[in-house]
Amino acid sequence: MKIAVTGGLGFIGSHTAVELIGRGFEVIVIDNLSNASEQVLDGIEAIAGVRPIFEKIDLREKQDVVGFFKKYPDLKGVIHFAASKAVGESVQDPLLYYENNIGALVYLLQQLQQLAEANFIFSSSCTVYGQAVTMPITEAAPIQPAMSPYGNTKQVGEEIIRDVANISNINAVLLRYFNPIGAHASAEIGELPLGVPQNLVPFITQTAAGLRKEVSVYGADYPTNDGTCVRDYIHVVDVAKAHVIAMERLLNKQNVAKVETFNLGTGTGSSVLEVIHAFEKVSGKKLPYKLVERRPGDVIEAYADTRKANEILGWEAELSLEDAMRDAWNWERKIRTID
Ligand code: WQD
């Protein structure tokens, strides 16, 4: 059964390709290589034992999207990861984000809505909740005005999918990720940020690897236990597995609505300092860090109520923060060839 994974060479996409192959799906990876390398295919193959089909397609090219669907008339579903995800960059270049994240989505949905049956999974984000009033955050929490063009593309993307699903054969699952981190335990695939990492965990592992001097902890005066921000860090392999389960739910027609929404988190909030200490524990290394000013736009805390995904998808995060930090560190050491 053929499933297309857009952005399939990226961080979450590559881990999802592995899990799909493990469940017997035939995976077609679509990627434009703008933020990933073809070598990721080797990593996927090393773990899964099968090399996915690879189509180098830029989803902003409408004719290429049309051509892809002509080439694979027996496609059973699409998992759509391909998108730009740097919040700061989205403020500097909003149209890049609207073109990449909305333009490409529109072209995909145009082709999907012509199919007799179309199953679609969308990468959404907890960013749609902004600073939620109540913790943990349920899927019923109000959507807040977006704090960045990036965040807006996730909100608008969700709305576009709802509008199209209403009038077509498309069935969709919107997965709202909290903070995916870690790497595959084999260290064959992992996160490969371009330039200076904006996200906490790759910054930590690069600092420990000697690429960065120290970690800046953005704000130590927040109203939390230790003064630093709290997030729900979830292992990328747990996130990947949820996609397979969601796709199987759509394929088996178990969905009870045209569009279903689930939080993907662990349900546990961890502070920045707790993440640093978890890293130190599993790596045995002391991490240089300093407390600095708050980063504009950060929410104080965000962690998921995972009951909906637990009960309806029958999925729950199985790996711990320490597992994720250990795997992220093993991956960093492998790519920097550190013993
Ligand atoms: C986590 C915590 C920082 C870096 C972002 C996007 C979100 C989603 C996931 C993805 C925060 C602190 C970070 C550093 C630090 N989208 N931090 N020093 O901001 O929760 O979410 O990524 O595609 O939409 O906004 O994740 O990893 O950047 O930050 O202290 O060098 O770590 O302030 O509290 P965030 P993050």
Q: Say whether both 253 and 218 belong to one domain.
A: no
**Is 338 a domain residue?**
no
Q: Say whether both 113 and 251 belong to one domain.
A: yes
CB-ligand 1 contact for 206 (6 Å cutoff): no
Q: Say whether both 83 and 125 belong to one domain.
A: yes
Q: Mean pLDDT, to the nearest integer, of 59-78?
A: 98
Write down the H helix ranges in the chain.
Answer: 11-22, 40-48, 62-71, 87-92, 94-97, 104-112, 149-166, 200-208, 236-251, 272-283, 307-308, 321-335
Q: With beta carbons less than 8 A apart as the criterion, state whether 227 and 3 touch.
A: no
**Is 168 a domain residue?**
yes
Q: Say whether both 70 and 48 belong to one domain.
A: yes
Separation of 2 CA from ligand 1 center, angstroms?
34
Which one is predicted more confidently, 12 or 337?
12
CA distance 259 to 254: 12
Separation of 37 CA from ligand 1 center, angstroms?
24
Q: Is the ipTM of this complex over 0.95?
A: yes
CA distance 108 to 333: 37
Q: Say whether both 141 and 107 belong to one domain.
A: yes
Active site residues: 150
Cα-based distances in Å from 81 to 26, 30, 71, 85, 271: 17, 10, 20, 10, 27
Q: Mean pLDDT, to the nearest integer, of 145-170?
A: 97
**Is 188 a domain residue?**
no
**Measuring from atom 36 of ligand 1, which residue has the nearest CA?**
199
CB-ligand 1 contact for 272 (6 Å cutoff): yes
Q: For residue 201, what pLDDT band results from cuts at 50, 70 and 90?
A: very high
Q: With beta carbons less than 8 A apart as the criterion, state whether 262 and 139 touch.
A: yes
Express each pLDDT in 243-288 by its tens digit: 999 999 999 999 999 999 999 999 999 999 999 999 999 999 999 9
Which atom in ligand 1 lies closest to the alpha carbon of residue 231?
Answer: 20
CATH code of residue 207: 3.90.25.10
| Averaged confidence pLDDT in the chain | 97
Q: For residue 238, what pLDDT band results from cuts at 50, 70 and 90?
A: very high
Which atom in ligand 1 lies closest to the alpha carbon of residue 302?
Answer: 20
Q: Say whether both 113 and 245 belong to one domain.
A: yes
Express each pLDDT in 209-220 by its tens digit: 999 999 999 999
Q: Say whether both 13 and 109 belong to one domain.
A: yes
**Is 192 a domain residue?**
no
Q: Say whether both 124 and 177 belong to one domain.
A: yes
Number of domains comprising the chain: 2
**Is 251 a domain residue?**
yes
**Is 187 a domain residue?**
no
**Measuring from atom 25 of ligand 1, which residue has the nearest CA?**
87
Q: Say whether both 26 and 157 belong to one domain.
A: yes
**Is 191 a domain residue?**
no
**Is 189 a domain residue?**
no
- Residue 338, pLDDT score: 79
Q: Mean pLDDT, to the nearest integer, of 312-337?
A: 97
Q: Say whether both 17 and 156 belong to one domain.
A: yes
CATH code of residue 40: 3.40.50.720
Separation of 199 CA from ligand 1 center, angstroms?
5
Is the dihedral angle over the CA atoms 42, 44, 49, 52 positive or is it negative? Answer: negative
Task: Give the range of the structural domain holding residue 324, as residue numbers without chain letter.
Answer: 200-231+267-333
Q: Say whether both 177 and 69 belong to one domain.
A: yes
CB-ligand 1 contact for 128 (6 Å cutoff): no
Share of the chain above pLDDT 90, in %: 99
pLDDT at 339 over 90: no
- Candidates 171, 157, 148; CA nearest to 124 is 157
Q: Say whether both 77 and 208 belong to one domain.
A: no
